[in-house]
Amino acid sequence: MSKRTIEMAVGTAGIDAYGQPIRAPLSVRSQGALALEAPYEPELESDHMLINIGPQHPATHGVLRLVLELDGETVVRCVPHIGYLHCGFEKIGEYRQYNQIIPWTDREDYLNSIGNNVAFVLGAERLFGIEITPRCTVLRVIAMELSRIMSHLVWMGTTCIDIGAFTPFLWLYQERENLYNLLEGWVGARLTTTATRVGGMAAEIPDGWMDGLNAFIRNFPKTLNESDKMLSKNGIWMGRTVGIGALTAEEAINCGMSGAMLRASGVAYDVRKDFPYLDYETYDFDVAVGTSGDVYDRYLVRVEEMRQSIRILEQAVQRLPDGPLNVDDPRVILPPKTKATSQMESMIHHFKLVMEGPRPPIGEVYVPVESPKGEKGYYLVSDGTSKPVRWRIRPPAFVNLSAIPRMVEGHLLSDVIAINASIDIVMGEIDR
């Protein structure tokens, strides 16, 4: 193990001479004391320049900080610093009932909040051993695919801005606005949806909601194609993205990548196909796979994923069955209020569910789903009480981001921005 690797692993937060926290690795011997004496701006012995991209910078998506050592404009070293948005979600989850954790899943990958809601309850339901209703399954598929499109829209728009094309950003955000209106109509919230419950959904879709969804399915491909036309064959866009930050399939696998980052490198791994959940195996859709693993291929893969999501949505709208939304299981879902006032058992269930919360059997479960960023998994350990003893998120963006030094070193400063955009990070998920 090299010295540097040790330092990276041991790194702790220090305070610099100006009282600012340094999210920099300290060696074991020098923790504390040396950090206080550390120079505010390190003097490099050559003509290299140290530059901070982030945490406050228009190009970083969230509060990512990249310390770059530049030789001219060429990046010779890149060290990412994370943790500026650490909220301790996983620890908080250990003090919350299962349904109370759902609002925290909104806030980690906040561009994909409803998808996280679904993913978390999928894990919890496997822990509880519950089979959800067919209607709920289809509605959750709709929720996940809408969520994928929303997240990809933000990614595409911000990537456009990072590479200098401003206009597609606003076109795409208009569509995202339509989607948020749909979500608002369904669950009342736009960003922090908290749309699911263990055993079902928080709300049934309102009357006429499907018309809105159908209108979106009809209109969205036009906007997407228009924006895509502005970029994918544009000489400048291609010049900025083709061959930039390329990873081979082997490298991508070794870095633990997933999602569009992995598929752009030519590995056709999609959780929806390989470990199906929510009956994804019964839907007809293709997995977009790139060849070169550069920024351009990631772009193409994600655009194609949005088109495939529309295909899935069309099928889901077709097959949405009538019937109950929530499972008929008083262990997790409240019985009707009218019964609580007339039947003793129902009243007890109301009391137990409200005061204690649903109690799963002892066990542990890891359920991965294909989030817009990659393989997102929720790992839950239950000791039989109504709160998990351990809740752990596998954040795809964190793993994908860990390869950024490998991708940017040797490239120019402008390429750092393009590569960073192509990873599609959300710091809420990375810092948790």
Partner 1 sequence: MSLTAISPTMALDVLADLSTWFPRQDSQVAPESVYTFALASSIKLLVVFTLYMLGVAMLTLAERKVSAWIQDRRGPNRTGPFGLLQPVADGLKNLMKEEVRPADADKWLFIIAPMLAFIPAMLTWAVLPLASPLPTPWGLISMSVASLPVGYLFMLAISSLGVYGMVLAGWSSNNKYALLGSLRSSAQMISYEIALGMSTIPVLLLAGNVSLNAIVEQQAHMGWNVLSLTIAWFIFLVAAFAETNRLPFDLPEAEAELVAGYHTEYSGMKFSLFFIAEYANMATMSGLMSALFFGGWDIPFTRWDNEGEFTVVKTLATLATFAAKTGVFLFLFMWVRWTLPRFRYDQLMTLGWGIMLPLALGYILVIAAASLALDALGVPRGVPFSLSLLVLNIAIGAVLLWWGDRGKLLSPASARLGQVELARRRARSAAPSSMAMGAPTARTIAVAEATQDQSEPALVGAGTVSDEVTN
Contact call for residue 45 and partner 1 (CB under 8 A): yes
By CB under 8 A, is residue 13 in contact with partner 1? no
Task: Compare residues 43 and 207 and give the one whose CB is closer to partner 1.
Answer: 43
From CA 369, how far away is CA 379, in angstroms rounded?
A: 12
Report the site for partner 1 in 79-138 (rule: CB under 8 A): 79
Shortest Å distance, C-beta 185 to partner 1: 22
> At a CB cut-off of 8 Å and minimum separation 6, what does 138 contact?
316, 319, 320, 321
Cβ nearer to partner 1, comparing 29 with 337: 29
Among 87, 167, 324, 364, binds partner 1 (CB under 8 A): 167
93, 114, 124, 162: which one contacts partner 1 (CB under 8 A)?
162
- Residues in 290-349 that interact with partner 1 by CB under 8 A: 294
Contact window for partner 1 (CB under 8 A) among 110-118, 199-207, 325-333, 415-423: 415-423
Is there binding between residue 244 and partner 1 (CB under 8 A)? Answer: yes
Of the candidates 407, 180, 417, 220, which has an alpha carbon nearest to the alpha carbon of residue 309?
220
- Taking alpha carbons only, the member of 394, 152, 407, 371 closest to residue 255 is 407
User: Which residues share a beta bridge with 75?
Assistant: 70
Residue of the chain from 18, 46, 211, 318 that contacts partner 1 (CB under 8 A): 46
Per-residue interface string for the shown chain with partner 1, residues 246-265, x marking contact by CB under 8 A: x-------xxx---------
CB atoms within 10 A of CB 176: 18
- DSSP 8-state class, residue 146: H
- 323 token code pair: 């019937």
CA distance 172 to 157: 6
Choice from 174, 219, 248, 282 touching partner 1 (CB under 8 A): 174
Among 246, 247, 288, residue whose Cα is nearest residue 372: 288
Considering only residues 112, 193, 241, 382, which one is a binding residue for partner 1 as defined by CB under 8 A? 241
Contacts 24+ apart (CB under 8 A), 56-59: 59/162, 59/417, 59/420, 59/421
Interface residue with partner 1 among 19, 42, 208, 321 (CB under 8 A) is 42
| Inter-residue contact 61 to 423 (CB < 8 Å) | no
Binding window for partner 1 (CB under 8 A); candidates: 180-188, 321-329, 386-394, 402-410:
402-410
By CB under 8 A, residue 231 contacts partner 1: yes
**What is the closest distance, in whole angstroms, from the C-beta atom of residue 306 to partner 1 in the complex?**
19
